[in-house]
C-alpha cells in the first residue's frame, strides 16, 4: 500500500496533508489551487435597485443600468436585481461550467422566469452550475475560426447581435441587501445597521474541476479522522499514513495521478465497522427562523432560496432526504413561488422532501396558551394533510427556550408520539442526563424524545460531528441510533453538495458511526423498537438559559395574551350565536386568518422578544389587525346573542357564574360602574345589584389609606406599598412581618452575551427598591362599588411608575393598574410581595394546568430556576392559607422563600436597541385565600382578571341565560368553536385544572343530538360516543386531562 517508510513524526505528516489542501498556504502548487480552471468575464451585468421586495415579473420589467463588479449599493433591506448575460466559450466543451458569484447579500438565481438556486457566501453557495459537462446543444459561443460574416446582417459573426443573442444565456439574480444573519452592526445580535452597503465581489464564468473537488473531500475527511480520533486510536494512524501516501501519489498538475490516490482513500473508507456500531441517521435540514434578525417578509425569500437549492441537490443526489418544518413557511412558498411549490410536492410524494413537526410555526414552548398550542398543531397538521396528504408523527422543535410539561399530552392528542429537540444542551448550569428517553408530561402522557447528541441542528457532515454524536450520547448501551441534522440553519441556507459528499464517503467506515440517509420515521421506529432500557424524565424540560425571554418586549406578550383572550371570546360568542340563530354565519375564514397571525407571532424568536425592531413592529401590527377585525367579529356575534335589543347587558365567556363590578363604558371621566351577576357562558341584563359590603377608603392619622370591601382590608403606605393585606373572615394577615407588599424593585441587568434573551443569576445581587415618591397615594374614586387610590413613583430621571390600586365590591383580590414610563438601559423592574406563608414549593399556572417549582436553592437544579415562567397566576400556599399573584399579560416570576416576585419590564439593547422603551400599561393582582388555591378559586379569579365581562346590548326583558355549565369547579370548559369539518357542529374542549381525578357533568341548554370524544385534531373516535342524559354529558377526568368533544345539534 505504502511505497516508502515514514518517520515517526505525526505532526509533520499531518501538517503536510493539511497544507496540501489549504486555501491560504501554497495554493500556487497545492491541490486547492487547482479547484478552478479557466475563467472568463460575463458578457454584461446590469442592475436595478428596489426599496421593496417585488416579484420577478415586476423586476424584469424595470430599466436596468450597467453594473461594475465591486461597485457598492444598498442600503440594508433593499434589493438589487441583476440581469446577467453570459457566453460560454467553445473551448470549454466537455467541462463543468459554473457561474461564480460572490456577494455579501443573499441571492436567488432566476432562469426562464423561475427561481433556480440560492446563492450565499456565508452558506457556502457561490456557484450556480451552468453545465455539468458542456455539450454542443447547450448555449455557448462557438468562436468562428475564420472571419465569418452573418448571412442576415453581413456583420462579422463575433459582432452580430443575433448571433450573440442565440448563443448566450440570460439570468436574473435577485440580491437581498442582508446576510444570512441579517445586518447586525458589529456583532451578529446587535441591532441592524440600516445604512450598510453591499457589493458583488466576483461574477465570472469558471471551469470547475470536479475531480479536484472529489480529491479535496477525500483528503479533508481523512485529515479530520486523524485529528478527531487522536493519538489514542490506531485507526487515526491508519488514516494518517493513508493521507500521507496520497500526497505522495497525487500531483496537482496531473489529474491522471488522482485515481491512485483516490483508490487509497476509497480503500480506507471501505474498511467496515462491526455490527454493534452506532448508527447516525443523517437528514438534510435547514432551520429557518420565521423572523429574527430579519423581518417576516425576508423569511419568505429565505425559504425560496433555501428550498430551491434543496431541489437542485435532490436532482443530483438520489439518496438525499430533507426534513422541513413549519406549515406557515410552506404556505408562504406556495403563494410566492408556485412553481417551486409543485416541485416540492413532487419530492414530498417521493418521501424525500419530508414535512415535519406538525405545527404552524416552531413556536415558543413556554408562553403560548394551551389552546394556542393546540391550534399550532391543528393548523399545521391540517395544512400538511391537505397539501401533501402527510401526517407528521413527530413534533420538531430544535430551537426553543424550554418545553411545557403539557406538551406530551398535546402531542399525543395531535397524533404525535415522537419529539425531537436539542436546545437543553445550552443549559448554563446542569447537564441534562439523557439524549434518548421517554418524556412524561403533566398528565402522564409519554412521548419518545431524542436530542441529537451532536448538540446541533445545523451540522456540516464533518467527522468531528460524527465522533461527537457517538461520544456525547448519554444513553450508550440503551440507544444505538442518533439523528445528524445537516445543513446551514437559523438564517436558512440548508445543505450543500460538499456535506452530502462527506457523508457519502463514510457510510460504513471503521472507527466512525455508520451513516445512513434517513428520515424521522426511520429513526424513531428504530429507537422505539429498542426502547426497553430507556429512562423517563417527568415534568417540564426547563432551559437554564434565556430566562429574560419571559419578560422582554412586553407589548408582544400583552398582544399575545389579549388576542388569545379575544379569539376565545369570539369563538364562544359565535358558537352560541350559531346555536341560537341558524342564520348566523360562523366567521370560519376570518377566524382562521386571525388565528394564523396569532400563531405566527408565537414563533420562537418573536413572542420571546429576541427579534429586531422591524419584527416587533410587524408583530404589533398583526396584533392590531387581530384586535380591529376581532372586535368587529365579536360585535357581530354579541349582537346575535342579544337579539339586537337596546338595553345594557353582559356576556360572560367563562364557565362559571360571575358576580363582578364592571365598567359599562371605556374612556375618561367618572367610570360608569355596575355590579352584575352573569351565569356561566351566558348573558344577563345589567340589573341594579347592591354589594353585600360596600368598598370604603379611609384616610388614617399617619397618612396611610385604609381600603376595605368586606373580604379584604389593606393599608396603603405613603409610598404606595402595602403595610397590611388582611383576609377578614380568616383573621389572617398576608404580608410578612415588618415587610411591605407591592414593593417595586430595580436590578442591573447585564447578561454575558444574549442581551434580549438572558437574565443572569448575579442580577439578584443588585436589588434596589424604588422609593422616591412623586405623588403619594390619594383617593381617586370611591362609590361603594369601587374604591381606588393613585400614586406616582420616580424610578430615575427618565422613568416613572403611576399606579392605581383598585378594590372592587365582592372581589377577592386587589388590582394594581400600572402605567410605567420606561426609558432605562439594562435594568430590570419587578414587583415583590413578601408574604406570611412558608412552603418549599410554589405553584405556577401553565397550559391546561399548573406545576410546582421549589422556593429554596438546595441543589443546582433548584437555583438554576431563579427566574421561571408561568401564565395567569402563581400561588404560594401552606396548609389552609396562601397568597396568589395574578396578572393580565406577564410571564416571568420568581418565588424565593416567602417573597413572590412578578417580573415587569426589561431594557435590553440587542437585537432591538429600543426594546421596551416607551409607556406600558398592565395589571396584576394579589389574592390572599384560605384553604388550597384550588378550593379558593384562584384559577377562576385569574381567568376573571384576564377575560373581562363584555358589555352587550339586549332586550330590556331578557332573562339571564346560560348556554353551558360544568358541575365541578375542577373542570374548566376552555374552548367552544365550530368543528373544522362539520358546519353547525361544535367542538368543546375541557380540562381538569385541580390535579384531581373527578367526574364532571357538562350541561347545555342546546339540544345535542350526538356527542363524540375526539382528538385535538377534531377527529372523532367512533368507539367513544359521549353519553348524553337529561342531566348533560358525564365525563371522567384524570389529573390535568384534556378532553375534546364533538357536539352535533
CB of 302 to Zn ion, least distance (A): 12
Closest by alpha carbon to 575, among 118, 44, 50, 975?
Answer: 975
CB of 289 to Zn ion, least distance (A): 4
- Indicate the residue among 130 and 424 with the shorter CB distance to Zn ion: 424
| 458 touching Zn ion, by CB under 5 A | no
| 364 touching Zn ion, by CB under 5 A | no
All three cell numbers of 668, joined, read: 375618561
Between CA 182 and CA 293 the distance in angstroms is 5
Per the document, the length of the chain is 1049
Is-catalytic flag, 399? yes
Which listed range, 134-142, 284-292, 639-647, 684-692, lies at the site for Zn ion (CB under 5 A)?
A: 284-292
Between CA 1011 and CA 964 the distance in angstroms is 14
Which listed range, 229-237, 395-403, 471-479, 687-695, lies at the site for Zn ion (CB under 5 A)?
A: 395-403
Please give the size of the binding site for Zn ion, defined by CB under 5 A.
Answer: 2
Cis bond upstream, residue 75 (ω within 30): yes
Give the rounded distance of the alpha carbon of 426 from its chain centre: 16
- Indicate the residue among 32 and 285 with the shorter CB distance to Zn ion: 285
- Indicate the residue among 399 and 440 with the shorter CB distance to Zn ion: 399
Sequence-separated contacts (24+) of 701-705 with Cβ below 8 Å: 703/776, 705/777, 705/779, 705/789
- Indicate the residue among 181 and 438 with the shorter CB distance to Zn ion: 181
C-alpha dist (Å) from residue 765 to 547, 676, 744, 747, 751: 17, 47, 16, 8, 13
Which listed range, 54-62, 195-203, 391-399, 521-529, lies at the site for Zn ion (CB under 5 A)?
A: 391-399
CB of 602 to Zn ion, least distance (A): 13
865 burial (CB, 10 Å; 0-12 / 13-18 / 19+) is middle
Tell me whether strands 279-285 and 322-325 are parallel, antiparallel or unpaired.
parallel
The helix or strand, by DSSP H or E, that contains position 175, with its residue range, turns out to be: strand 169-176
All three cell numbers of 594, joined, read: 386571525
Give the rounded distance of the alpha carbon of 576 from its chain centre: 33
- Indicate the residue among 74 and 179 with the shorter CB distance to Zn ion: 179
Please tell me which residue in 399, 490, 605, 629 is annotated as part of the active site: 399
CB of 784 to Zn ion, least distance (A): 53
All three cell numbers of 887, joined, read: 396578572
- Indicate the residue among 95 and 546 with the shorter CB distance to Zn ion: 546
CB of 404 to Zn ion, least distance (A): 17
- What does residue 329 show for φ and ψ, rounded to 5 degrees? -70, -35
Map 937-950 to HEC letters. CHHHHHHHHHCCCE
DSSP state of 985: -
Q: Three-state SS for 678?
A: strand
Which listed range, 398-406, 441-449, 790-798, 1026-1034, lies at the site for Zn ion (CB under 5 A)?
A: 398-406
Where are the extended beta strands (E) located within 795-872? 800-808, 814-822, 827-834, 841-846, 849-854, 868-869
Q: Three-state SS for 246?
A: helix
- What does residue 58 show for φ and ψ, rounded to 5 degrees? -60, -45
| 832 touching Zn ion, by CB under 5 A | no
CB of 646 to Zn ion, least distance (A): 52
C-alpha dist (Å) from residue 949 to 644, 657, 661, 810, 990: 18, 11, 9, 15, 20
Window 686-705: contact mask with Zn ion (x via CB under 5 A): --------------------
CB of 322 to Zn ion, least distance (A): 17
CB of 166 to Zn ion, least distance (A): 47
What's the N-to-C CA distance of the chain in angstroms? 81
- Indicate the residue among 882 and 911 with the shorter CB distance to Zn ion: 911
Between CA 183 and CA 913 the distance in angstroms is 14
CB of 611 to Zn ion, least distance (A): 11
- Please check whether residue 449 is in contact with residue 413, taking contact to mean a CB–CB distance below 8 angstroms: no
Which listed range, 245-253, 393-401, 511-519, 667-675, lies at the site for Zn ion (CB under 5 A)?
A: 393-401
- Indicate the residue among 295 and 812 with the shorter CB distance to Zn ion: 295
| 399 touching Zn ion, by CB under 5 A | yes
Hey, CA dihedral for 526, 532, 533, 536, is it positive or negative? Answer: positive
All three cell numbers of 392, joined, read: 407528521
CB of 490 to Zn ion, least distance (A): 6
Tell me whether strands 918-930 and 881-887 are parallel, antiparallel or unpaired.
antiparallel
- Indicate the residue among 399 and 443 with the shorter CB distance to Zn ion: 399
All three cell numbers of 452, joined, read: 441529537
Closest by alpha carbon to 641, among 683, 590, 685?
Answer: 683
All three cell numbers of 697, joined, read: 377608603
Between CA 397 and CA 363 the distance in angstroms is 8
Window 736-775: contact mask with Zn ion (x via CB under 5 A): ----------------------------------------
Which listed range, 287-295, 533-541, 776-784, 924-932, lies at the site for Zn ion (CB under 5 A)?
A: 287-295
All three cell numbers of 289, joined, read: 427562523
Which listed range, 185-193, 397-405, 643-651, 961-969, lies at the site for Zn ion (CB under 5 A)?
A: 397-405
- Indicate the residue among 421 and 965 with the shorter CB distance to Zn ion: 421
- Indicate the residue among 96 and 362 with the shorter CB distance to Zn ion: 362
CB of 870 to Zn ion, least distance (A): 23
Between CA 268 and CA 666 the distance in angstroms is 78
DSSP code per residue over 563-628: HHHHHHHHHHHHHHHHHH-TT----HHHHHHHHHHHHHHTBTTTTTS-S-HHHHHHHHHHHHHHHH
Which listed range, 285-293, 439-447, 558-566, 684-692, lies at the site for Zn ion (CB under 5 A)?
A: 285-293
Number of neighbouring beta carbons within 10 Å of residue 167: 18
Which listed range, 288-296, 313-321, 495-503, 923-931, lies at the site for Zn ion (CB under 5 A)?
A: 288-296
- Indicate the residue among 612 and 735 with the shorter CB distance to Zn ion: 612
- Indicate the residue among 103 and 601 with the shorter CB distance to Zn ion: 601
List the Cα angle 364/600/948 in 5-degree steps.
Answer: 85
CB of 539 to Zn ion, least distance (A): 24
CB of 551 to Zn ion, least distance (A): 20
The helix or strand, by DSSP H or E, that contains position 641, with its residue range, turns out to be: helix 613-641
Residue closest to Zn ion (Cβ): 399
All three cell numbers of 786, joined, read: 369601587
| 289 touching Zn ion, by CB under 5 A | yes
Which residues of this chain interact with Zn ion, rule CB under 5 A?
289, 399
- Active-site residue set: 399
Amino acid at each position: 500500500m505504502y511505497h516508502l517508510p515514514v518517520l515517526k513524526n505525526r505532526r509533520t505528516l499531518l501538517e503536510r496533508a493539511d497544507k496540501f489542501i489549504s486555501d491560504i498556504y501554497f495554493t500556487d502548487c497545492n491541490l486547492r489551487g487547482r479547484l478552478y480552471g479557466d475563467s472568463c468575464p460575463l458578457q454584461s451585468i446590469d442592475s436595478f435597485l428596489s426599496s421593496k421586495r417585488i416579484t420577478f415579473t415586476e423586476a424584469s420589467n424595470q430599466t436596468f443600468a450597467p453594473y461594475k463588479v465591486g461597485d457598492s449599493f444598498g442600503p440594508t433591506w433593499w434589493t438589487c436585481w441583476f440581469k446577467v448575460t453570459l457566453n460560454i466559450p467553445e473551448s470549454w466543451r466537455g467541462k463543468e461550467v459554473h457561474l461564480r458569484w460572490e456577494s455579501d447579500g443573499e441571492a436567488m438565481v432566476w432562469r426562464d422566469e423561475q427561481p433556480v438556486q440560492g446563492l450565499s457566501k456565508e452558506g457556502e453557495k457561490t456557484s450556480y452550475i451552468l453545465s455539468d459537462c458542456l455539450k454542443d446543444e447547450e448555449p455557448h459561443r462557438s468562436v468562428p475560426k475564420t472571419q465569418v460574416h452573418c448571412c442576415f446582417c453581413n456583420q462579422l459573426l463575433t459582432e452580430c447581435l443575433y448571433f450573440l443573442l442565440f448563443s448566450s444565456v440570460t439570468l436574473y439574480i435577485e440580491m437581498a441587501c442582508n446576510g444570512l444573519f441579517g445586518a447586525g452592526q458589529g456583532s451578529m445580535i446587535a441591532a441592524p445597521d440600516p445604512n450598510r452597503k453591499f457589493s458583488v465581489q466576483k461574477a465570472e464564468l469558471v471551469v470547475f474541476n470536479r475531480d479536484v473537488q472529489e480529491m479535496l473531500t477525500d483528503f479533508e475527511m481523512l485529515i479530520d479522522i486523524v485529528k478527531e480520533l487522536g493519538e489514542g486510536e490506531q485507526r487515526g494512524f491508519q488514516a494518517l499514513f493513508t493521507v500521507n501516501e496520497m500526497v505522495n501519489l497525487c500531483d496537482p498538475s496531473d489529474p491522471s495521478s488522482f485515481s491512485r490516490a483516490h483508490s487509497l482513500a476509497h480503500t480506507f473508507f471501505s474498511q467496515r465497522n462491526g455490527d454493534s456500531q452506532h448508527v447516525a441517521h443523517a437528514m438534510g435540514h435547514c432551520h429557518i427562523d420565521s423572523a429574527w434578525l430579519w423581518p417576516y417578509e425576508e423569511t419568505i425569500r429565505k425559504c425560496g432560496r433555501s428550498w430551491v437549492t434543496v431541489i437542485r441537490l435532490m436532482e443530483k443526489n438520489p439518496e438525499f432526504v430533507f426534513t422541513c418544518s413549519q406549515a406557515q413557511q410552506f404556505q408562504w412558498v406556495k403563494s410566492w413561488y408556485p412553481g417551486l411549490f409543485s416541485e416540492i410536492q413532487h419530492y414530498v410524494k417521493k418521501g424525500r422532501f419530508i414535512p415535519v413537526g406538525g405545527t404552524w410555526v416552531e413556536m415558543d414552548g413556554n408562553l403560548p396558551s394551551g389552546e394556542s398550542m393546540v391550534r399550532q398543531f391543528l393548523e399545521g397538521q391540517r395544512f400538511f394533510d391537505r397539501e401533501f396528504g402527510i401526517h407528521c408523527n413527530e413534533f420538531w422543535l430544535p430551537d426553543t427556550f424550554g418545553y411545557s410539561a403539557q406538551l406530551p399530552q398535546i402531542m399525543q392528542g395531535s397524533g404525535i408520539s415522537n419529539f425531537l429537540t436539542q436546545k437543553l444542551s445550552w443549559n448554563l448550569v446542569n447537564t441534562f442526563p439523557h439524549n434518548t428517553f421517554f418524556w412524561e408530561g403533566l398528565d402522564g402522557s409519554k412521548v419518545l424524545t431524542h436530542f441529537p447528541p451532536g448538540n446541533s441542528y445545523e451540522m456540516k457532515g464533518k467527522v468531528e460531528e460524527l465522533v461527537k454524536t457517538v461520544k456525547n450520547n448519554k444513553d450508550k448501551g440503551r440507544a444505538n441510533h442518533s439523528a445528524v441534522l445537516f445543513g446551514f440553519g437559523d438564517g436558512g441556507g440548508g445543505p450543500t453538495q460538499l456535506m452530502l459528499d462527506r457523508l457519502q464517503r463514510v457510510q460504513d467506515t471503521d472507527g466512525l458511526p455508520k451513516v445512513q440517509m434517513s428520515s424521522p420515521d426511520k429513526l424513531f421506529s428504530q429507537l422505539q423498537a429498542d426502547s426497553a432500557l430507556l429512562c423517563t424524565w417527568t415534568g417540564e424540560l426547563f432551559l437554564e438559559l434565556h430566562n429574560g425571554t419571559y419578560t422582554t418586549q412586553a407589548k408582544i406578550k400583552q398582544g399575545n395574551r389579549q388576542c388569545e383572550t379575544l379569539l376565545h371570546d369570539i369563538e364562544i360568542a359565535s358558537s352560541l350565536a350559531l346555536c341560537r340563530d341558524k342564520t348566523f354565519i360562523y366567521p370560519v375564514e376570518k377566524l382562521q386568518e386571525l388565528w394564523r397571525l396569532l400563531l405566527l407571532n408565537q414563533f420562537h424568536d418573536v413572542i420571546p422578544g429576541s427579534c429586531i425592531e422591524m419584527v416587533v413592529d410587524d408583530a404589533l401590527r398583526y396584533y392590531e389587525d387581530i384586535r380591529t377585525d376581532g372586535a368587529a367579529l365579536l360585535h357581530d356575534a354579541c349582537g346575535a346573542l342579544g337579539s339586537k335589543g337596546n338595553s345594557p347587558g353582559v356576556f360572560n365567556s367563562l364557565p362559571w357564574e360571575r358576580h363582578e363590578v364592571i365598567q359599562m363604558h371605556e374612556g375618561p371621566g367618572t367610570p360608569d360602574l355596575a355590579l352584575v351577576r352573569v351565569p356561566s357562558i351566558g348573558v344577563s341584563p345589567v340589573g341594579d345589584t347592591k354589594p353585600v359590603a360596600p368598598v370604603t377608603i379611609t384616610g388614617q392619622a399617619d397618612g396611610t389609606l385604609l381600603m376595605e370591601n368586606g373580604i379584604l382590608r389593606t393599608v396603603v403606605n405613603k409610598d404606595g406599598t402595602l403595610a397590611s393585606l388582611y383576609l377578614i373572615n380568616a383573621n389572617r394577615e398576608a404580608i410578612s412581618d415588618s415587610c411591605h407588599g407591592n414593593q417595586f424593585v430595580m436590578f442591573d441587568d447585564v447578561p454575558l452575551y444574549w442581551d434580549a434573551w438572558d437574565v443572569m443569576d448575579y442580577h439578584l445581587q443588585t436589588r434596589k427598591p424604588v422609593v422616591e415618591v412623586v405623588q403619594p397615594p390619594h383617593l381617586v374614586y370611591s362609590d361603594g362599588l369601587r374604591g381606588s387610590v393613585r400614586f406616582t413613583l420616580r424610578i430615575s430621571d427618565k422613568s416613572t411608575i403611576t399606579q392605581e390600586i383598585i378594590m372592587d365590591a365582592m372581589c377577592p383580590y386587589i388590582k394594581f393598574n400600572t402605567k410605567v414610563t420606561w426609558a432605562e438601559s439594562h435594568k430590570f423592574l419587578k414587583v415583590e410581595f413578601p408574604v406570611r406563608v412558608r412552603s418549599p414549593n410554589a405553584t405556577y399556572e401553565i397550559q391546561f394546568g399548573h406545576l410546582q417549582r421549589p422556593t429554596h436553592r438546595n441543589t443546582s437544579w433548584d437555583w438554576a430556576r431563579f427566574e421561571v415562567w408561568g401564565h395567569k397566576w402563581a400561588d404560594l400556599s401552606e396548609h389552609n392559607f396562601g397568597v396568589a399573584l395574578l396578572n393580565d399579560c406577564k410571564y416571568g416570576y420568581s418565588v424565593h422563600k416567602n417573597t413572590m416576585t412578578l417580573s415587569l419590564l426589561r431594557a435590553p439593547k440587542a437585537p432591538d436597541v429600543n426594546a421596551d422603551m416607551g409607556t406600558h400599561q398592565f395589571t396584576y393582582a394579589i389574592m390572599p385565600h384560605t384553604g388550597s388555591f384550588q378550593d379558593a378559586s384562584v384559577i377562576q379569579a385569574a381567568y376573571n382578571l384576564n377575560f373581562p365581562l363584555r358589555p352587550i346590548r339586549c332586550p330590556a326583558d331578557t332573562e339571564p341565560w346560560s348556554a353551558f355549565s360544568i358541575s365541578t369547579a375542577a373542570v374548566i370548559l376552555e374552548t367552544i368553536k365550530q368543528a373544522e369539518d362539520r358546519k353547525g357542529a361544535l367542538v368543546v374542549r375541557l380540562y381538569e385544572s385541580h390535579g384531581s381525578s373527578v367526574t364532571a357533568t357538562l350541561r347545555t341548554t342546546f339540544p345535542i343530538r350526538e356527542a363524540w370524544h375526539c382528538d385535538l385534531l377534531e377527529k372523532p373516535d367512533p368507539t367513544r360516543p359521549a353519553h348524553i342524559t337529561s342531566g348533560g354529558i358525564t365525563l371522567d377526568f384524570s389529573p390535568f386531562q384534556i378532553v375534546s368533544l364533538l357536539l352535533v345539534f
